[in-house]
Amino acid sequence: MRQRTVLCATAVMVAGLFTATAQAQPTTTGVQTAEAMAVDAAAGLVDSKPAALHASSDDAFVRHGVISATNGLKYVPYTRTYKGLQVVGGDFVVATNSTGQVLGTSVGQDVTINLPSTNPTVDKAKAESVARGQLATVDGVNGIDQVVYALGATPRLGWKVQVVGRDSEGPSKLDVVVDALDGKVLHKQEHVLHGTGTSAWNGPNPVQIATTQSGGTYSLKDPTSAVACQDAANNTTFTGSDDAWGNGNATNRETGCVDALFAVETENKMLSQWLGRNGFDGAGNGWPVRVGLNDVNAYYDGSQVQIGHNNANQWISSIDVVAHEFGHGIDDHTPGGISGAGTQEFVADVFGAVTEAFANEPSPYDVPDFLVGEQINLVGQGPIRNMYNPSAKGHPNCYSSSIPSTEVHAAAGPGNHWFYLLANGSNPTNGQPASTTCNSSSVTGIGVQSAAKIFYNAMLLKTSSSSYLKYRTWTLTAAKNLFPGSCTEFNTVKAAWDAVSVPAQTADPTCSATGTVTVANPGNQSSAVGSAVNLPLSASGGTAPYTWSATGLPAGLSINSGTGTISGTPSTAGTSNVTVTATDSTSKSGSASFTWTVGTTGGCSGQKLGNPGFESGNTVWTASSGVIGQHSADGQAAHGGTWSAWLDGYGSSHTDSLSQSVTIPAGCKASLTFYLHIDSNETTTSTAYDKLTVTAGTTTLATYSNLNKASGYVLKTIDLSAFAGQTVTIKFTGVEDGSLQTSFVIDDTGVNLS
């Protein structure tokens, strides 16, 4: 198995802010994808080390995969190290629009780290003992790592220990940060978050579910998200000889799985259609859901969702319960990790409510009623929580300074109340009940879908400093970014927070709509005959949504009237004068003009490699098994998009290769470019044990090794002009020795002609 050394975002709270910063503009050379433009813009900003990042000379930054949302918004998350140690709370996010313009940064850290020493006085054994003392029953310890804990005004050297066992609520997987100087507990973060078939809770029956067929056997496994529903007794997926499932009795485990899989598939459709998210983990996947937990409970623990029973021994796999638990997983797999300071249950409740609204089932099924667990009647007292009136279940309607230390389910009250007001308002006209505000104000809702988009985009700005106060700033920022031509949504977000007593923050943005439409000019473009084009455009001002049109596009190209993306394959060489126009919903419009030069396929322009960023999967290239893939879940994020090529990393004697043949026209200059990330467990500073060799035919172009390891990707450029007039095979060969892994990760390649 490959060893992973790339740092992952942690789920620990520190203070932070959202700060608009001077942006580093990406250089446009030909046509870039929106993801590549976001990466370039973020990299330029980070390299400049603006004050908002609180960066020291000993900090290093690790970029993670770009996250795409609706309206062309992109989010580039980073984690950091200090003198090689992971910084808990050092994460941040760079937000850009579809043309690579930096909109701002969301930073988890408040101060620059300057530790007098990184030598602990409390050893590992003592730290483990302290961490074990935080659980009633300890089954084991998953790992102990030395870290820097960047909370508040005084960063501290620490040990991060994950203990597994049980607490008063049941199973526990608890991260404990122990001060490495005095042995005190600095922070704790829990990762176990409680919380066609014949269905028990959904309908009308039979409900439609997507299952997987292999030969004559069917299984309760969603083919889109790969989520399987299993019997918790043995963790095996339910299978059968036909595609009919369940008997409608909620005490039957297979029926419980019908409901669970129906909820999973419904939520996954909502994520895609409403929020533009690729699956629960952001990479198209989810986690197994297991029905049969012998407890009056349900939970997500980072690797699975367990579904228990109510007091009537019925499995509690209703839409809002299952969507809530998978909502915890989404929270865990967005920047900053699991939300804290009393917000994590409110976050999951929002996903339950939004999925109910998306399903829009009729009575007596799981109707969109903004009640949590109303169908399952967990302990015989009706709903678990009430979003329009949290106090009906004994939870606070309004925020106060005591909320962060309140029991997490009760602490969801103000957030649930806020989301209900944002979506439906205080006096809805859509059949939903009235909701009393904390300041006696009146709020007019913007609808569930718009509210959900704003909240999800706020989560993409999330850092490990999450709190109600930060969510106020993040949701206001998200509303401004999503609806740049309108202040209606922004003002409603603000009014809803005011209505639940979450106070204004100094980092809150402001909004003023000008009524004019401005189209961001992408600059002059160049491409080649027969080479596919994908150029997203963006506009601001006026009243969204925009309708796009264009004149003068080269033959073979067209513009999507809804998204503003120019795509297609140019068919004729020449230079065109292009004008693109965005018209808002009130008929105001704005335009931008630029030239577009199309060269011939055999000319000295354009890029010659096929599938250069590997985003088409394992195509065009010839590669060893497992090299081309989506590796972020294994700790190797792509440079752009979600696909990359990962050679070696096994920690044993191994050879991987990656190659493609390319023709360089006679008389042309050419260069091979690629982004390379090398991480290694080798500690030597003098011996190259593991090597990556780059060749063109029989000519060696470059060699890299474990001695070149570094955080992040590094752009490599190699002159290929000597091969003009030839067809040559570009090949990367990685050779690893018998111990200590070295990973060579390649992305965003190109053979560029000039």
559 has pLDDT over 90: yes
Give residue-wise pLDDT tens across range 209-244: 766 767 778 888 887 788 888 898 999 998 888 878
Residue 409 a catalytic site member: yes
pLDDT for 652 equals 87
pLDDT single digits (tens) 289-338: 999 888 888 888 888 999 989 889 998 888 899 999 999 999 999 999 99
**What ranges in 173-212 are assigned the alpha helix state H?**
none
What topology is assigned to 517-599 in CATH? Immunoglobulin-like (2.60.40)
Q: Which fold has domain 194-375?
A: Elastase; domain 1 (3.10.170)
Query: Which residues neighbour 734 within 8 Å (Cβ) at sequence distance 6 or greater?
Result: 647, 648, 655, 656, 657, 690, 691, 692, 693, 744
Please name the helix (run of DSSP H) or strand (run of DSSP E) that holds residue 420, with its range, or none.
helix 412-424
Residue 130's pLDDT is 93
pLDDT band at 698 (very low <50, low <70, confident <90, very high): confident
- The pLDDT assigned to 48 comes to 82
DSSP 3-state assignment of 564? coil
Predicted confidence band at 645 (pLDDT cuts at 50, 70, 90)? very high
Average pLDDT on 384-411 reads 93
Please say whether the beta carbons of 122 and 182 come within 8 A.
yes
> What gap in Å lies between CA 409 and CA 396, rounded to an integer?
10
Mean pLDDT within 258-286: 89
DSSP state of 127: H
The rounded mean pLDDT for the chain is: 85
- Grouping H, G, I as helix, E, B as strand and the rest as coil, residue 155 is coil
Residue length of the chain: 754
Lowest-pLDDT range of 157-166, 545-554, 591-600 = 591-600
Q: Which of 143, 10, 188, 176 is closest to 87 using CA atoms?
A: 10
What's the whole-number mean pLDDT along residues 449-475? 94
- Would you tell me the crossing angle of helices 344-359 and 412-424 to the nearest 10 degrees? 30
pTM (two decimals): 0.63
For domain 124-191, which architecture applies? Roll (3.10)
Options 191, 194, 324, 409, the catalytic residue: 409
Do residues 349 and 412 lie in contact, with contact meaning Cβ atoms separated by under 8 Å?
Answer: yes
Q: How confident is the model at residue 113 (pLDDT cuts 50, 70, 90)?
A: very high
Task: Evaluate the CA torsion angle 73, 81, 471, 345 in order and state its sign.
Answer: positive
Beta-ladder partners of 231: 236, 291
Sign of the alpha-carbon dihedral angle for 168, 171, 177, 182: positive
pLDDT exceeds cutoff 60 at 262: yes
Q: Binning pLDDT at 50, 70 and 90, where does residue 12 land?
A: very low
Structure tokens at 691: 């090597």
- Average pLDDT over every residue of 379-394: 91
Question: Quick one: tokens of 68?
Answer: 């795409």
685-705 mean pLDDT: 91
Residue spans in the chain of domains classed CATH 3.10.170.10: 194-375
Among residues 190, 254, 265, 325, the one annotated as catalytic is: 325
- Residue limits of CATH 2.60.40.10 in the chain: 517-599
Select 622-753's CATH number: 3.40.50.300, 1.10.8.50, 2.60.120.260, 1.20.1260.10.
2.60.120.260
Q: Report the percentage of the chain scoring pLDDT > 90.
A: 41
Side chain identity, residue 279: G
Q: What is the pLDDT of residue 736?
A: 92
Query: Which range in 295-304, 367-376, 393-402 is most confidently predicted, on average pLDDT?
Result: 393-402
Checking if the pLDDT of 279 tops 70, the result is: yes
pLDDT tens digit sequence for 563-583: 888 888 888 878 888 889 988
487-507 tens-digit pLDDT: 889 999 999 999 999 999 988
Per-residue pLDDT at 5 exceeds 80 = no
Task: Compute how many other C-beta atoms are within 10 angstroms of the C-beta atom of residue 717.
Answer: 10
pLDDT of 635 = 87
Give me the torsion for CA of 566, 569, 572, 575, rounded to 10°: 30
- Measured distance between the N- and C-terminal CA atoms of the chain, rounded to whole angstroms: 42
Interatomic CA distance for residues 548 and 535, integer angstroms: 13
pLDDT tier for residue 515 given thresholds of 50, 70 and 90? low
Q: Region 249-269: what's the mean pLDDT? A: 88
Can you tell me the distance from the alpha carbon of 354 to that of 368, in angstroms, rounded to the nearest whole number?
A: 8
Active-site annotation holds for 615: no
pLDDT bucket at 274, cuts 50 / 70 / 90? very high
Q: Which of these, 595, 604, 550, 551, lies nearest to 574 by C-alpha position?
A: 595
Q: C-alpha distances in angstroms, 465 versus 6, 92, 213, 462, 503?
A: 21, 10, 44, 8, 17
Q: How confident is the model at residue 615 (pLDDT cuts 50, 70, 90)?
A: confident
Bridge-partner residues for 176, per DSSP? 161, 188
Q: What is the DSSP letter of 391?
A: G
What does R_g of the chain's alpha carbons equal in angstroms? 27
Cα 421 from chain centre: 26
The pLDDT > 70 percentage for the chain reads: 91
SS3 518: strand
E strands present in 200-318 = 212-214, 217-219, 229-231, 236-237, 239-240, 289-291, 298-300, 305-307
What's the topology of domain 387-505?
Neutral Protease; domain 2 (1.10.390)
Listed in order, the ranges of the chain carrying CATH 3.10.450.40 are 124-191
pLDDT tens-place string over residues 16-38: 333 333 333 333 334 457 788 88
